[in-house]
């Protein structure tokens, strides 16, 4: 039985537990049908030209974990941002862990997708928002069909989440291979603010395939600051699809730090529905071995006077492969737009590969759109200069790479997180440098 | 030569000029001064025929002919030249190519053939020398990467080439150091004769030391509130604009 | 104030007829429509080709039958019915042995209309011209002067007969028959085209030029160009294209193969002005062209193109930088207006060490047109110290057109240095006013700004072509301002 067939039969079993005549069930059935029709994406599709899922799909994943596994806080403490207080929504093998979490219903909702999906008091919200931003690509559809658990966050009008929210998905690896499909829904109402950190973490080397979908809705003047930390083990793969809809004057920034995992695919899609929106997409990718990271971004400009800024840095060592496939799509009515896209890459090793496809599709004439893409190596002159000042090769290299990624690192607004990321970079490069330059 | 009669003008429904009358004769230099936002540049634009500016009332004539219905290029053909405060960049089009096109288009409007290449080159050389412009400059893209001084010098160079009847210099002194100012003013003075006229729009009297006006007009809130001789410019320099305001009240 | 508005301009443009849209009444011999093995054989027979050539065509035809028409380009059109096209059409009056003076006077009159009076060109510009009308090469000038230098410049049909060893050796080596759908079709049915060979160390003393024209209704034009620059040689080659206005779509599927051996340099310039269709989007040429060059050691190939015509263009002149230190260049201006669609760009495949490529693409979209740049820069693992610089600029006029940029960059070597930039802009109202104030009317002002925008590419064209190209830009864009 291949994975697709296994998913089909699992869905039938899953369906037995669902309320048969609910509108949500219709959504799932339709999504499942769509997945069945399309199947998993192949390299023949333009959007997957440079990323193959074949190797991942051959594993025999367990779709629903059989038994709950408890984990000790001390074992996973290091994955939390523990030097500051945060809200935490934590899942272990896709199941909510109340022990590790810290959720709230006080003014703001930081709680569970399962409650939102099943409790009647949320039904109007689910009807309004659930699956309204997500694409109909096969993997998103698959997630929609199986959507069961994840984070549900709602920040009401004029409110602010007083502390950052951490969404952490642990995979224990108790099964030989696990497939997880978390689903998050985030609604930020008028003039509300929130900071969110999302992480997927495996706790051993058994294969994990995560197919995650997050929908984020920003109402007028809402402000979202979202951080994705991707630093997983060598057999963990992640397909992360994040769909964002912005109403007027809202600002949304998403920072993606891809430091590890077998295969990581980030589908990040923004839709600007109102005037004067600002979308910020930042990313640092730093990988080695045979790791593969694919950033697939889309900023869809529909309204006037909006802006978007993309800044992606990639550093690739060993046989690592990087893909940047960024698209800016400007509708005819999206006049006075300022859209900027930048993608800079450094290849450290001769076996590393980078494939870039920065695209512009423009239908409006009064716009400022540009993109720049560079690929190169560390400047040998700069290396020599640093070494002639007595800085060892490894440290010199680390300094230059840090400087290269600095524009993105600078944009991290939570100081503790920034420090954490700096340490991650230092660790990766095997140096002990404080990077607060 | 130029008659402006009771002109009212607005931009995006905002009234800027509120009844301006001005008469400029051949051989004269008029200076127009006034605080920021008084309507100085609007006056220049409305004479040159910029589309965003709407003439709501009044009349502008050149040698007795009403020009208010004419397109900007037709006014240029009648001899109106505007030295822009912020000259526009046109990438890929050289200074030479641009002025050549402009001259020939003006000739075409007058029913003349294109200027022969040899004559064109001679004229370009002569006028470039007058403004101390070197050859390399002429092959650069129009205004792209020009310094403030280069831009203004280029404007006066074009004026020299086109030999307009009426030249309006809009804040030509802004962004110029004293040496560049002298070169530009010297160029204007050399081009000045009994058949043409110059309107100098400026904030400061500094430029008027070099281009000496016959008349000075002060614009405030869209109206000419005071006219006089060069002496008026000195007074303004010394006392600012507030005393006029007080005088008006 | 009487304004010359965008609408006025648009109206004027609509009434502006395609300047080259005359139809020359030449008596021609046209094959029955449709395509099968017999037609392929008949074309080969008609051209008195040797058996190896007939076999080559039949092989290509087999390949073509097994292929699908590609649909990945950003263009929409009704796919041509390949069985409704005549695959061979030749003006009857042509006899290859005749000299220029004997050429059909109608034809000569046609060249005059095209502004390429053969005599004049011969005298003034030192350009040798091969002219292909519908499918057949009708006049190759300057043969004698060239042959003194050992340069072979003739129609490909003649070359197949006279220089089979060269044709056999190189035909299909850069663009294999199975490369793509249209290349396969062309290989099966190409009726004529130009062949050029520059011997070792020879610098071709004049520009070589081919003028293509589709004349007959309902025909396809499938010309084949093969250009070989032997070691250390140099040639500059110009290609121009026009077609009369017709309501139905005409198909043009050419293949151009360039081979630059060690230390050789080829400069290939195209001014493509096929009939773009009417203002309502009716008719126009489908231009599906495969152009590719191969660079050996220290060789250089430079493609320059000004694309103003065709209803649909699908064209990616490319360079395979096989030899160490070889150089590929691509300079392009693509203008689309009304309902035109263009998907054009280049591929730079870096295989050798120290290979370099430059891409400068200027896209200008007006009316309801769609203009796409699609390019690939590929640095193989073997290509140490490869460099590429790409710049893709788009200019939009009006709010009903689209500009698209699809660059693909694939790098497998850490020593590569790649820089890609793209920008989008419009013609500013302040630029127009500035020109107006100097006495330049709006239409001329637009032409001036567009010329400035395209300068870097126009500069790369040989002089005679640059003037024509500038004129073409003006004609193609009249009536479009944002």
| Greater model confidence, A434 or A50 | A50
Mean pLDDT of chain C: 80
Query: A335 to chain C: which residues are within 8 Å by CB?
Result: 399
In the predicted model, is pLDDT for residue C297 greater than 90? Answer: yes
Convert the pLDDT of each residue in A263-286 to its tens digit: 999 999 999 999 999 999 999 999
Q: Which residues pair with C284 in a beta bridge?
A: C249
Residue B201: closest CA among B89, B87, B82, B88: B82
Convert the pLDDT of each residue in C435-449 to its tens digit: 999 999 988 898 899
Domain at B206, CATH number: 3.40.50.300
Virtual torsion, Cα B109, B110, B116, B121, nearest 10 deg: -80
Enumerate chain A positions whose Cβ falls within 8 A of a Cβ in C.
Answer: 46, 50, 332, 335, 345, 347-377
Q: State the Cα angle at A279 between A275 and A281, rounded to 5°.
A: 165
Interface test with B, best of C437, C444, C449, C469 (most B CBs within 10 A): C437
- Contact predicate A80/A86, CB 8 Å: yes
Residue-range domain boundaries for chain A = 1-241, 275-377, 388-437
Provide the whole-model pTM. Answer: 0.83
CA dist C253 and C151 (Å) reads: 27
Convert the pLDDT of each residue in A349-379 to its tens digit: 989 999 999 999 999 888 888 899 999 988 8
**Out of A233-247, A306-320, C9-23, C127-141, which region has the weakest mean confidence (pLDDT)?**
C9-23
* pLDDT of C22: 43
In the predicted model, is pLDDT for residue A145 greater than 50? Answer: yes
Convert the pLDDT of each residue in B120-168 to its tens digit: 999 999 999 988 888 889 989 999 888 888 899 999 999 999 999 999 9
**Percent of all residues in chain B with a pLDDT value above 90, rounded to a whole number:** 59
* pLDDT of C251: 81
Residue C141: closest CA among C105, C112, C117: C117
- CB C418 to CB A373 under 8 A? yes
* pLDDT of B135: 85
In the predicted model, is pLDDT for residue C118 greater than 80? Answer: no
Token readout for A21 is 């005549």
State how beta strands B80-83 and C249-252 pair.
unpaired
* pLDDT of A193: 96
Min Cα distance B4 → chain C (Å) is 17
Contacting subunits of A (3+ beta carbon pairs below 8 A) = C
By 3-state DSSP, what share of chain A in percent is helix, strand and coil, each rounded to 5? 25, 40, 35
Contacting subunits of C (3+ beta carbon pairs below 8 A) = A, B
* pLDDT of A274: 95
CA dist B53 and B47 (Å) reads: 10
- CB B92 to CB C1 under 8 A? no
Say how many domains are in chain B: 1
The DSSP call for residue B102 is H
Residue A426 CB contacts under 8 Å (≥ 6 apart), including other chains: A398, A432, A433, A435
| Greater model confidence, C86 or C243 | C86
In the predicted model, is pLDDT for residue C44 greater than 50? Answer: yes
User: Minimal Cα distance from C431: which residue of B?
Assistant: B88
Which among C428, C440, C451 is the nearest to B102, CB-wise? C440
* pLDDT of B167: 95
- CB C397 to CB A359 under 8 A? no
In the predicted model, is pLDDT for residue C15 greater than 70? Answer: no
State the pLDDT confidence band at A435, using cuts at 50, 70 and 90. Answer: low
Residue B128 lies in a domain: no
CA dist A295 and A256 (Å) reads: 9
Which stretches of chain B score pLDDT less than 50?
Answer: none
Convert the pLDDT of each residue in C232-275 to its tens digit: 999 998 887 665 555 566 788 889 999 999 999 999 998 888 77
- CB C407 to CB A359 under 8 A? yes
State the pLDDT confidence band at C281, using cuts at 50, 70 and 90. Answer: confident
Q: In a 3-state reduction of DSSP, which class is residue C17?
A: coil
Mean pLDDT of chain A: 92
* pLDDT of C57: 92
Quickly list DSSP for A381-415: HHHHHHHHTT--HHHHHHHHHHHHHHHHHTT---H
Residue B150 lies in a domain: no
**Percent of all residues in chain C with a pLDDT value above 70, rounded to a whole number:** 77
Task: Report CA-CA distances (Å) from A389 to A156, A392, A395, A400, C116.
Answer: 55, 9, 12, 14, 67
Q: Looking at residues A153-170, what average pLDDT do you find?
A: 96
What are the contacts of B147-154 at 24+ separation with CB within 8 A? B148/B174, B148/B175, B148/B176, B149/B175, B149/B176, B149/B177, B149/B180, B151/B87, B151/B175, B152/B83, B152/B87, B152/B176, B152/B180, B152/B184, B153/B180, B153/B183, B153/B184, B153/B187, B154/B87, B154/B95
State the pLDDT confidence band at C6, using cuts at 50, 70 and 90. Answer: very low
* pLDDT of C124: 33
| Greater model confidence, C106 or A271 | A271
* pLDDT of C7: 53
* pLDDT of B8: 94
User: Minimal Cα distance from A332: which residue of C?
Assistant: C399
Instruction: Tell me how many residue pairs between chain B and chain C have CB atoms under 8 A apart.
Output: 93
Token readout for C344 is 């054009």
- B56 contact C CB<8A: no
In the predicted model, is pLDDT for residue C430 greater than 80? Answer: yes
State how beta strands B2-11 and B53-62 pair.
antiparallel
Domain span including residue B34: 2-89+162-248
User: Minimal Cα distance from B70: which residue of C?
Assistant: C1
**Out of B5-9, C1-5, C381-385, which region has the weakest mean confidence (pLDDT)?**
C1-5
């Amino acid at each position: 039985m291949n994975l697709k067939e296994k998913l089909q039969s699992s869905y039938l079993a899953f369906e037995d537990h669902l309320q048969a005549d609910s509108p949500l069930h219709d959504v799932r059935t339709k999504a499942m049908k769509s997945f069945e029709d399309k199947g998993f994406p192949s390299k023949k599709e333009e959007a997957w030209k440079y990323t193959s899922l074949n190797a991942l799909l051959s594993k025999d994943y367990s779709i629903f974990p059989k038994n709950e596994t408890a984990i000790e806080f001390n074992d996973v403490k290091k994955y939390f941002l523990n030097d500051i207080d945060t809200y935490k929504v934590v899942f272990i093998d896709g199941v909510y862990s109340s022990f590790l979490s810290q959720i709230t219903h006080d003014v703001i909702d930081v709680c569970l997708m399962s409650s939102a999906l099943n409790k009647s008091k949320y039904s109007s919200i689910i009807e309004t928002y659930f699956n309204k931003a997500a694409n109909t690509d096969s993997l998103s559809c698959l997630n929609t069909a199986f959507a069961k658990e994840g984070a549900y966050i709602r920040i009401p009008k004029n409110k602010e989440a007083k502390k950052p929210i951490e969404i952490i998905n642990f995979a224990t690896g108790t099964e030989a291979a696990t497939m997880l499909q978390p689903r998050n829904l985030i609604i930020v109402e008028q003039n509300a603010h929130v900071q969110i950190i999302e992480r997927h973490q495996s706790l051993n080397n058994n294969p994990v395939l995560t197919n995650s979908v997050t929908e984020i809705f920003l109402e007028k003047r809402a402000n979202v600051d979202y951080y994705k930390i991707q630093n997983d083990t060598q057999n963990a793969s992640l397909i992360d699809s994040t769909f964002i809809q912005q109403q007027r004057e809202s600002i949304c920034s998403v920072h993606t730090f891809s430091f590890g995992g077998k295969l990581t695919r980030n589908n990040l899609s923004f839709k600007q529905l109102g005037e004067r929106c600002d979308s910020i997409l930042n990313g640092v990718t730093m990988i080695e071995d045979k790791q593969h990271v694919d950033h697939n971004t889309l900023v869809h400009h529909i309204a006037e006077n909006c802006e978007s800024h993309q800044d992606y840095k990639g550093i690739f060592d060993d046989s690592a492969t990087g893909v940047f496939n960024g698209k800016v799509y400007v509708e005819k009515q999206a006049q006075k737009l300022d859209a900027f896209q930048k993608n800079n890459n450094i290849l450290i090793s001769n076996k590393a590969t980078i494939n870039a496809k920065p695209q512009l599709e423009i239908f409006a004439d009064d716009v400022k759109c540009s993109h720049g893409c560079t690929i190169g190596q560390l400047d040998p002159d700069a290396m020599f200069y640093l070494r002639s000042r007595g800085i060892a090769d490894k440290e010199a290299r680390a300094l230059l790479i840090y400087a290269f990624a600095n524009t993105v690192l600078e944009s991290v607004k939570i100081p503790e997180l920034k420090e954490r990321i700096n340490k991650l970079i230092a660790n990766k490069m095997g140096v002990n440098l404080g990077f607060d330059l | 030569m130029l008659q402006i009669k009771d002109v009212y003008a607005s931009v995006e429904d905002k009234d800027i000029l509120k009844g301006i009358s001005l008469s400029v004769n051949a051989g004269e230099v008029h200076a127009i001064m006034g605080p920021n936002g008084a309507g100085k540049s609007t006056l220049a634009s409305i004479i040159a025929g910029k589309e965003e500016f709407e003439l709501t009332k009044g009349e502008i004539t050149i040698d007795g002919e009403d020009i208010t219905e004419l397109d900007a290029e037709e006014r240029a053909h009648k001899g109106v030249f505007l030295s822009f405060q912020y000259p526009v960049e046109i990438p890929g089009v050289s200074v030479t190519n641009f002025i050549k096109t402009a001259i020939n288009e003006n000739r075409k409007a007058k029913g003349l053939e294109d200027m022969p290449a040899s004559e064109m080159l001679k004229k370009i050389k002569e006028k470039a020398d007058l403004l101390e412009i070197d050859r390399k400059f002429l092959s650069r893209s129009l205004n792209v990467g020009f310094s403030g001084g280069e831009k203004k010098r280029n404007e006066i160079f074009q004026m020299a080439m086109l030999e307009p009847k009426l030249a309006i210099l809009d804040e030509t002194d802004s962004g110029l150091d004293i040496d560049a100012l002298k070169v530009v003013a010297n160029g204007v003075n050399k081009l000045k004769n009994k058949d043409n006229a110059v309107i100098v729009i400026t904030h400061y009297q500094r430029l008027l030391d070099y281009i000496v006006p016959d008349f000075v007009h002060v614009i405030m809130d869209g109206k000419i509130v005071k006219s006089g001789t060069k002496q008026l410019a000195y007074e303004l320099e010394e006392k600012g604009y507030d005393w006029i305001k007080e005088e008006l009240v | 104030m009487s304004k010359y508005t965008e609408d006025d301009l648009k109206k004027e443009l609509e009434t502006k007829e395609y300047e080259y849209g005359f139809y020359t009444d030449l008596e021609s011999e046209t094959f029955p429509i449709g395509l099968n093995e017999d037609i392929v054989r008949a074309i080969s027979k008609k051209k008195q080709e040797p058996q190896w050539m007939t076999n080559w065509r039949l092989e290509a035809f087999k390949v073509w039958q097994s292929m699908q028409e590609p649909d990945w380009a950003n263009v929409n059109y009704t796919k041509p019915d390949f069985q409704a096209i005549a695959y061979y059409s030749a003006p009857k009056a042509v006899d290859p042995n005749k000299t220029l003076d004997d050429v059909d006077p109608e034809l000569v009159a046609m060249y005059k209309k095209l502004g390429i009076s053969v005599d004049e060109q011969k005298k003034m510009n030192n350009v040798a011209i091969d002219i292909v009308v519908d499918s057949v090469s009708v006049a190759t000038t300057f043969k004698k002067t060239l042959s003194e230098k050992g340069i072979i410049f003739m129609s490909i049909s003649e070359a197949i007969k006279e220089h089979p060893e060269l044709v056999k050796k190189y035909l299909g080596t850069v663009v294999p028959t199975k490369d793509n759908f249209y290349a396969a079709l062309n290989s099966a049915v190409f009726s004529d085209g130009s062949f050029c060979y520059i011997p070792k160390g020879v610098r071709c003393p004049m520009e070589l030029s081919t003028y293509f024209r589709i004349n007959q209704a309902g025909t396809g034009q499938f010309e084949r160009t093969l250009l070989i620059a032997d070691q250390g040689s140099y040639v500059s080659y110009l290609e121009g294209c026009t077609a009369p206005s017709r309501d139905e779509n005409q198909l043009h599927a050419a293949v151009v193969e360039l081979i630059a051996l060690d230390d050789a340099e080829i400069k290939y310039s195209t001014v493509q002005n096929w009939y773009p269709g009417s203002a309502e989007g009716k008719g126009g040429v489908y231009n599906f062209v495969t152009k590719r060059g191969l660079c050996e050691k220290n060789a250089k190939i430079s493609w320059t193109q000004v694309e103003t015509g065709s209803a649909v263009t699908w064209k990616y002149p490319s360079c395979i930088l096989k030899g160490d230190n070889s150089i590929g260049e691509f300079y392009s201006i693509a203008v689309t207006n009304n309902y035109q669609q263009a998907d054009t760009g280049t591929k730079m495949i870096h295989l050798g060490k120290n290979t370099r490529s430059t891409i400068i693409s200027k896209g200008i979209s007006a009316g309801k047109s769609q203009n796409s740049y699609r390019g690939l820069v590929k640095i193989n693992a073997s290509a140490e110290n490869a460099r590429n610089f790409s710049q893709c600029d788009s200019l939009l006029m009006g709010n009903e057109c689209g500009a698209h940029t699809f660059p693909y960059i694939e790098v497998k070597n850490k020593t590569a240095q790649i820089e890609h930039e793209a920008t989008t802009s419009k013609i500013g109202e302040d630029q127009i006013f500035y020109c107006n104030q100097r006495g330049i009317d709006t239409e001329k002002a637009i032409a001036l700004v567009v010329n400035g925008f395209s300068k870097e590419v126009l500069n790369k064209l040989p002089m005679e072509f640059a003037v024509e190209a500038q004129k073409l830009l003006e004609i193609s864009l009249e009536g479009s301002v944002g």
